[in-house]
Amino acid sequence: MDKNSPPDWDPRSEAVLNDQMTTYDDMRHRCPVAHSRYGYTSLFRHEDVMRVLKDHETFSSAVSRFPSVPNGMDPPEHTVYRRLIEPYFSPEHMNAFAPTCRDVAVRLVQALPGEGTTELMGDFAQIFALQIQCAWLGWPADLHEPLRLWTLKNHAATLARDEAALSAVALEFDGYIKDLLAVRRTDDNAAPDDITTSLLRNQSLGRSLTDDEIVSILRNWTVGELATISASIGILTHYLAANSGLQQQLREHPALLPAAIDEILRIHAPLVMNRRVTTKQVTLGGRTLAKGSRLALVWASANRDEAVFGNPDEFRLDRDPELNLLYGAGIHVCPGAPLARLELRIVMEELLGRTSQIALVSDREPVKAFFPASGFSALPLQIQKPSSRAL
């Protein structure tokens, strides 16, 4: 982008922040490859995003100044670490974790009041995301509150583009993980048999992982999990509260939930964007981008592209799952997708199965989350539980 050229849009303007999805829909038609004053070129069309995802040689994932294993790596380095982490999301691991996941979901749904107004994000979604992530990694319950506060600080620093604050937040997280690793080393053979201990003992690279490598892997998993799982629960529950017929259909036929969850999260993405950088000059959407151009792949727009999905707001259970970019595509497709799908399916099964109605509150509007987050920061709902049935 010519430094003297005016930007095509301002992703942090009040108009965008007040209604991200409508803005992205507009940009997809008006300026599908758009420069901003923040140094990123945003891609809004499904076709352009897919081109980037499938060409990792031209569009590098090495965009962060912090180590990012393996998200921020390119082959061949990425291939080695990807092979290391994929077994943790195997069907065997998911089946073994499912009972624990259900126990957490059941306990939190049971704790919801059976009448009156519930603020779903703070009273349920964020708590579930924290507890389920700690349960999966084998982290103690006394990390729940520090991680909750850490998530808020991380989001605030990201929103403010405060480099000093981002560095401090990263160091704080590193400290939590290194403390956990130190305890496990001290305990040696008595250390808990969990994923964190497994990473510490992993020898698939022909050596032990360094603390920095383990911290990076766990940071990537945790940041993504805490933000997207809580956002997804809010988006799903809000959609079902606004569509009572579908809510009842899924309550009566929970086998439809996996496809329904992916479709609702296609309509309203829990993750707004992801980044890449060009390794050479390239043309996208008729615009020539220099080597080193930073790109923002706007999932929230690409997954609503009329050229691929027709009416983007139409809910359909028969869509081709290969077109849905909810978990990305190509070599960087989200390795944690099986875990996310398991957690969202179970939590929605329990939320629907243990309630008789979930409804919006007429006199209290949901509060939309601010970029770079998606979904809702506050979601007041009326939740009714059947009184005649033991839960």
Q: What is the DSSP string of 313-331?
A: T---S-S-GGG--TT--GG
CATH number of the domain within which 136 lies: 1.10.630.10
Report yes or no on 322 lying in a domain. yes
Task: Tell which wins on pLDDT, 372 or 69.
Answer: 69
- Domain range for 79 is 14-384
Task: Tell which wins on pLDDT, 149 or 259.
Answer: 259
| Phi, psi values for residue 117, rounded to 5° | -100, 135
pTM across the whole model: 0.93
Report yes or no on 2 lying in a domain. no
Q: Spell out the residues 6+ positions from residue 230 whose beta carbon is closer than 8 angstroms to its own.
A: 121, 125, 126, 128, 129, 375
Report yes or no on 4 lying in a domain. no
Q: Of 35-39, 63-67, 207-211, 254-258, which gets the smallest average pLDDT?
A: 63-67
Q: Are 272 and 299 in contact (CB under 8 A)?
A: yes
Quote the number of domains for the chain: 1
Pairing of strands 357-360, 33-35: unpaired
Look at residue 391 in the predicted model and tell me its pLDDT.
45
Q: Are 54 and 276 in contact (CB under 8 A)?
A: no
- pLDDT tens figures, 301-359: 999 999 999 999 999 999 999 999 999 999 999 999 999 999 999 999 999 999 999 99
Report yes or no on 218 lying in a domain. yes
Q: Report how far residue 20's alpha carbon sits from residue 300's, in angstroms, rounded to the nearest whole number.
A: 9
- pLDDT tens figures, 188-228: 888 888 899 999 999 999 999 999 999 999 988 887 788 89
Report yes or no on 390 lying in a domain. no
Report yes or no on 52 lying in a domain. yes
Assess whether pLDDT exceeds 80 at residue 67: no
Look at residue 4 in the predicted model and tell me its pLDDT.
58
Report yes or no on 314 lying in a domain. yes
Q: Of 41-50, 167-176, 302-311, which gets the smallest average pLDDT?
A: 167-176
Q: Report how far residue 66's alpha carbon sits from residue 69's, in angstroms, rounded to the nearest whole number.
A: 10
Report yes or no on 374 lying in a domain. yes
Look at residue 3 in the predicted model and tell me its pLDDT.
54
